Structure 1
Amino acid sequence: MRIGILTGGGDVPGLNPCIRSITLSADDLGWDVIGFRRGWEGVLGIDPDDPESVAHGSMPLTREGVRGIDRTGGTILHTSRLDPRTLKAGDQTAKVLHVLDALGIDAMITLGGDGTLRFSAHLSEQGVPVISIPKTMDNDVYGTDYCIGFSTAVSRSVEAINALRTTVESHERIGVIELFGRRSGETALLAGFLAQVDRTVISEVPADLDRLLPLLAEDKGSNPAHYAMCVISEGASIQGVASENGHELSKPASERDDIGVGHKLGRAIQKQLGCGIVHQELAYLMRAGDPDAMDRMVGLAFGGLAIQLLQRGEKGRMVTLKGGNYGHVPAGTLLEGTKSVDVGGLYDPTAYRAKLMRIEGMPMFLY
């Protein structure tokens, strides 16, 4: 058996532990593992008849070659956000199928977020044996409670938010910390709760400045240190203020034409409350560095489960973690809905704070 694996979309801590787990589990069965560089972009860049092209776009993964990578962040395979169906030249699915067939790939294991896994489900429909592994620090892949990278992103965010308190307090300002989260505010909600910030604005609930700003002013005024902290999701919106559309948010931050929602909130605070702010976009710092224990554990488990499924002859599946238990669902499950914060159970939209209405019977991360 020859297994191909790739990582697509943004990098997150926990990918390398998963790559190592896949490689070791496959090696135990005597299977070969080929890693494709730069996601689907690397696959499309390969000419199977050109050895140099194959070497440029792929690499053999061996037990010795993945030694120690589980302790590092990012992905040794590198990544891209390319979807072969959306190129100017048209749908390149046929090219992908040709490359996989020419290189003797018997099955694919894909590590990615919504975009990568959507194409993986498409490949499965074309008859390619595929196992999908969800990863995204936004934790917004439908069909699983947990995605690789989420825990580390929350941990990084909490550390940064608490570190920023020293500057915000020293200048007696209001801190506005913007976190990644285009469609789901789960990262902001959990990080804000764990860091015990004053207010948290999530993607699912538009912010009413007539309500939010007086609350922040009260928070600052009632704090003996004369400062307040507010966390906001990058995908959040402000009532009455033009917001970035989905197309803008899908671009890298350096290519966006519009300023972020955190910047807009900061301007409103300065204008209407007349006080200074500290505005900080944590951005790529949330996904930088080594994985925490949770993401190492889930990465290793997801990788091992993917190989076990292929060993049993199962294909077209996405590995999952639901209710604290590992499992798997059809690869196309993520197409059946969207995953977002349970506002009614976990969030108070009038106070802009986490509301833990239900604890008993909930998973550890309170999904």
Structure 2
Amino acid sequence: MRIGVLTGGGDVPGLNPCIRSIALSALDRGWEVIGFRRGWQGFLEIDPAERESVAAHSIVLDREAVRGIDRVGGTMLHTSRTDPRTVAGGDRTGHVLMVLDALGVDALITLGGDGTLRFSAHLSAQGFPVVSIPKTMDNDVFGTDYCIGFSTAITRSVDAINALRTTAESHERIAIVELFGRRSGETALLAGFLAQVDRTVIAEVPADPDVLLPLLAADRRSRPGAYAMCVISEGAKLAGDEAEDGDRRLSATRRSETAVSRRLALLIEQRAKEGTIVQQLAYLMRSGDPDALDRMVGFAFGGLAVQKIEAGETGRMLALRDGNYCHVPIDTLLGGTKTVDVDRLYDRARYRPKLTHVEGMPMFLY
């Protein structure tokens, strides 16, 4: 048995523990493991007839290759956001299948977010054995409560928010901290709650400056240190905001409008006459070593993926639901959009997370 592994989309801490777990679990069964570099893009660069192209875009994952990688963030296989169906020149699904066949790959394990896993489901629909593993610091893959990378992103965010308090207090300003999350406000909601900030603006609920600005000004005046803290999702909207929705779907470097955190800060300075500090955590949220939970989930998902292949149960996406490891049909993520349960977890009037019921709820409250 020869299995393939790839990582796609944005990197997150916890991918390397998962890769190591897959490799060691497969090697213990006497299987071979080949890692494909740079996600689906690596496949498009491979010509099986040219040994150099195979060597440049793949790597044999033996015990030495994965030694110690679990202690390091990012992905040793590198990554890309390529979807072979939408590249210049048309759909390259056939090329991907040809490469898998030519290299003798019997099954594929894919680690990725929404984009990577959508093509994984497409490949599975063509009849190739695939097991997919959800990872994204936004935690917004539909069908699972938890994705690899989410816990570390929250940990990084809480540490940074609390560290920024000293500067906000020193200058007696309102600090606006922007976190990743274009479609879902989960990272902002949970980081804001754990850091106990004054106000949290999430992607799901447009903020009314006429309500939010007086609240933040009052927060600053009520504290002896004369500062306030606000966390905001990058995909959040401000009432009356003229920014284009289409822009928010682009990467930060390709957007034409100013970030929402800066637009909010400008309103605060112009209308509330308060000084501000703006901090976009951006890629710092996904950088560095994985925390204990992302190591654990990475190891567990990796072992479970190999077990599913051994049992002949492919065409599945691994998941965590109500705190339990499980698996669902690989195309489950196509069936909906995962967002914050606003009515249960958020106070729209006060722009704050709310925790009204705890008993019976899963860890991370989702």
Q: CA deviation at 1:364?
A: 1.0
> How many Å separate the matches in 2 of 1:330 and 1:131?
9
Counterpart in the other structure of 1:188: 188
Tell me, yes or no, if the aligned pair for 1:244 and 1:260 is still in contact at 8 Å. Answer: no
Tell me, yes or no, if the aligned pair for 2:344 and 2:354 is still in contact at 8 Å. Answer: yes
Counterpart in the other structure of 1:178: 178
Q: Residue 96 of structure 2: SS of its match in structure 1?
A: helix
Q: CA deviation at 1:234?
A: 0.3
Q: CA deviation at 1:243?
A: 2.5
Q: Does 1:280 align with 2:279?
A: yes
Counterpart in the other structure of 2:355: 356
Q: Does 1:136 align with 2:139?
A: no
The number of residues matched between the two structures is 366
Counterpart in the other structure of 2:40: 40
> How many Å separate the matches in 1 of 2:218 and 2:300?
46
> How many Å separate the matches in 2 of 1:106 and 1:186?
37
Q: Residue 365 of structure 2: SS of its match in structure 1?
A: coil
Counterpart in the other structure of 1:259: 258
| Counterparts of residues 197-236 of structure 1 (less than 5 Å) | 197-236=197-236
Q: Residue 365 of structure 1: SS of its match in structure 2?
A: helix
> How many Å separate the matches in 2 of 1:249 and 1:316?
32
| CA distances 1:294-334 after superposition (whole Å, capped 9, x unpaired) | 00000000000000000001010000111111000000000
| CA distances 1:144-198 after superposition (whole Å, capped 9, x unpaired) | 0000000000000000000000001000000000000011100000000000000
Q: CA deviation at 1:275?
A: 1.4
Q: CA deviation at 1:256?
A: 1.9
Q: Residue 230 of structure 1: SS of its match in structure 2?
A: strand
Q: Residue 10 of structure 1: SS of its match in structure 2?
A: coil
> How many Å separate the matches in 1 of 2:359 and 2:186?
19
Q: CA deviation at 1:224?
A: 1.0
Q: Does 1:305 align with 2:304?
A: yes
Counterpart residue type for residue 236 of structure 1: A
> How many Å separate the matches in 1 of 2:250 and 2:28?
41
Counterpart in the other structure of 1:74: 74
Counterpart in the other structure of 1:51: 51
Counterpart in the other structure of 2:110: 110
| CA distances 1:87-123 after superposition (whole Å, capped 9, x unpaired) | 1211111111111111111001000000000000000
Counterpart in the other structure of 2:147: 147
> How many Å separate the matches in 2 of 1:273 and 1:126?
57
> How many Å separate the matches in 1 of 2:152 and 2:215?
30
Tell me, yes or no, if the aligned pair for 1:34 and 1:59 is still in contact at 8 Å. Answer: yes
> How many Å separate the matches in 1 of 2:354 and 2:76?
39
> How many Å separate the matches in 1 of 2:249 and 2:30?
40
Q: CA deviation at 1:357?
A: 2.0
Counterpart in the other structure of 2:336: 337
Counterpart residue type for residue 28 of structure 2: D
Q: CA deviation at 1:42?
A: 0.4
Q: Which runs of 4+ in 1 moved over 4 A?
A: none
> How many Å separate the matches in 2 of 1:314 and 1:163?
46
Q: CA deviation at 1:244?
A: 4.1
Q: CA deviation at 1:57?
A: 0.8
RMSD: 0.8
Question: Matched residues, percent identical?
Answer: 70
What is the TM-score with the length of structure 1 in the denominator? 0.99
Counterpart residue type for residue 305 of structure 1: L
Counterpart in the other structure of 1:8: 8
